[in-house]
A and B are shown apart, each in its own frame.
Chain A
């Protein structure tokens, strides 16, 4: 659905999304990287299980929540990628730790 502009020349980084390597660029938000990699659904809701993905891309709608480096329900549109970052899409309510 999304394609990168041909003149996008930032350095490449690799992140892991649900255990799979995904290419990204320095300066990408997690949301941009996932959208560019073809992810439409970032999470399903905790009550009805409906699919959700980025909507506002500016920190308002909270629909792009993902787990980043083990911390759940982070706004993918507000966090920039880093080499080796681990991202997990969320299914329903967050599990609670021990």
Chain B
């Protein structure tokens, strides 16, 4: 059993790259097999939030996992900058979710109350703010804003630089990156995985499926399941303007360079990545009601991306019982969870098994729902 690599990661987006970097850092011989530019890459379309508030209603373990990654993010950012020279632009000033009506504010308050009332919910601070309290912190809000939820743990980064830093870092640590390498079949012989495409076979002792919505196709090859679907999100970005917003909002944030990103639409549109004026207009209109100053800014680009969504919205982390050494990781929050993937999940896979506190994230949870 002398495979060429300790581990092959399928997928070179944020999830795959974070895991590859983390495993190379744990002295594994890593190869990353990536589709390359043709991939439906969620990592190119995301909003770059490192977001905690409101996550985990229905699965408090997800709230814990999210908070744990958020807490580790500063260390990750520092290590990436020291080792690769890439500043991933992380800050954690706390984030807001604004409400444009009393009904929205009340619904938000109830949602967060239900979240935090769950048994085994991890404890962290958050606040509901009325308009006056919010004005003290976000003086540029429009007259329709009635209040907000605030959580000091929320932050943001530059997710394109994050992807670049992981790729730079993993290669520094000896990982091999092979773009344009779609995996067609995965065989398992004498404890070694053989990953085939039309022209090559890669041998590895472990394999990690981190191919986003591609995991649905790959998972059965190693005796796993990945019931994920694409969910389209559209984004709008403006020209660079003077800094007016120092905090990320769930639908609006200003980047370090001054552009303003508007987003967070959620549409079921299959693999269609096109942008529609109806949705971007709705995004822009809501954003202008929140910050009227946005009205005069030029939009420089709109685009759409496909989130990787499970039935319940939570990640899947799994290992195969029929093909020991095969793992799967899939989620829609590859930025927020980057530190958890790189610093916690990657060492587990490097060591050969997932710890039992990740059992709850297995796709077996969907079998239970089907039976019931």
- Interface set of A (CB-CB < 8 Å, partner B): 46-47, 71-73, 93-98
Task: Pick the contact of B242: A71, A73, A93 (CB < 8 A).
Answer: A93
| In the complex, chain A residues whose CB is within 8 Å of the CB of B243 | 93
Segment of B90-98, B290-298, B306-314 in the binding face? B290-298
Contact present for A96 and B297 (CB under 8 Å): yes
Q: Is B239 an interface residue (CB 8 A)?
A: yes
User: For the complex, is B241 an interface residue (Cβ under 8 Å from A)?
Assistant: yes
Q: Output the nearest chain A residue to B254 by Cβ-Cβ distance.
A: A96
Indicate if the CB atoms of A93 and B293 lie closer than 8 Å: no
Interface 0/1 of B254-271, CB less than 8 Å to A: 000110000000000000
Q: Can you name the residue of chain B whose Cβ is closest to the Cβ of A47? A: B257
Assess the A98–B240 pair: CB atoms within 8 A: no
Which residue in A71, A96, A98 is a CB contact (below 8 Å) of B241? A96
Q: How far is the CA of A97 from the CA of B297 in the complex (A)?
A: 9
Chain B residues in 8 Å Cβ range of A98:
293
Smallest CB–CB gap between A76 and chain B, Å?
14
Prevailing SS type, chain B contact patch: loop
Decide if A94 touches B239 in the complex (CB within 8 Å).
Answer: yes
Q: Which chain B positions have C-beta within 8 A of A72?
A: 239, 296, 298
**In chain B between 285 and 338, which residues have their CB closer than 8 angstroms to a CB of chain A?**
293, 295-298
Main secondary structure of the interface of A (DSSP, over half): loop
Give A47 to B259 CA distance when docked, in angstroms.
11
The reply to whether A46 and B293 contact each other, CB–CB distance below 8 Å, is: no
**With the chains together, A71 CA to B239 CA distance in Å?**
12
* Cα–Cα, bound, A72→B242 (Å): 12
Determine the residue in chain B with the shortest Cβ distance to A62.
B300
Nearest CB to that of B260 among chain A residues? A96
Question: Would A96 and B298 be within 8 Å (CB), given that A46-B257, A47-B257, A73-B239 are in contact?
Answer: no
Given contacts A73-B298, A93-B242, 6 further A-B contacts (CB under 8 A): A47-B240, A93-B243, A95-B242, A96-B244, A96-B296, A96-B297
- Complex CA distance for A68 and B236, rounded to whole angstroms: 23
Which chain A residue has the least Cβ–Cβ distance from B296? Answer: A97
Separation of A95 and B242 alpha carbons in the complex (Å): 5
Q: How far apart are the CA atoms of A73 and B239 in the complex, in Å? A: 8
Inter-subunit contact A95/B241 (CB<8 Å)? yes
- What chain B residues lie within 8 Å of A95 (beta carbons)? 241-242
A93 touches B296 (CB 8 A): no
Task: List the A side residues contacting B293 at CB < 8 Å.
Answer: 96-98
10 A-B contacts, Cβ less than 8 Å apart? A46-B241, A47-B257, A47-B258, A73-B298, A93-B241, A93-B242, A93-B258, A94-B240, A94-B241, A98-B293
Residues from chain A with a CB closer than 8 A to the CB of B298 are: 72-73
Which one of A71, A93, A98 has the highest number of Cβ atoms from chain B below 10 Å of its Cβ? A93
Instruction: Please name all residues of chain A whose beta carbon is closer than 8 Å to the beta carbon of B257 when the two chains form the complex.
Output: 46-47
CB distance from B370 to the nearest CB of A (A): 51
- Which residues from B are CB-within-8-Å of A96? 241-242, 244, 293, 296-297
- B residues near A97, Cβ cutoff 8 Å: 293, 295-296
CA distance A49 to B295 in the complex (A): 25
Q: What is the distance, in angstroms, from A25's C-beta to the closest C-beta of chain B?
A: 27
Query: Closest CB-CB distance, A59 to chain B, in whole Å?
Result: 13
Could you tell me the distance between the alpha carbons of A95 and B258 in the complex, rounded to whole angstroms?
A: 10
Residue of chain B at shortest CB distance from A45: B240
Which B residues are in CB contact (< 8 Å) with A47? Answer: 240, 257-258
Identity of the chain B residue whose Cβ is nearest the Cβ of A46 in the assembled complex: B240
Interface residues of B in 30-48 (CB under 8 A from A): none
Top 7 A-B residue pairs of the complex, sorted by shortest distance between their CB atoms: A46-B240, A93-B258, A96-B293, A94-B241, A93-B240, A73-B239, A93-B242
Assembled-state Cα–Cα distance A94/B242 (Å): 6
| Chain B positions within 8 Å of A46 at CB level | 240-241, 257-258
A45 smallest CB distance to B (angstroms): 8
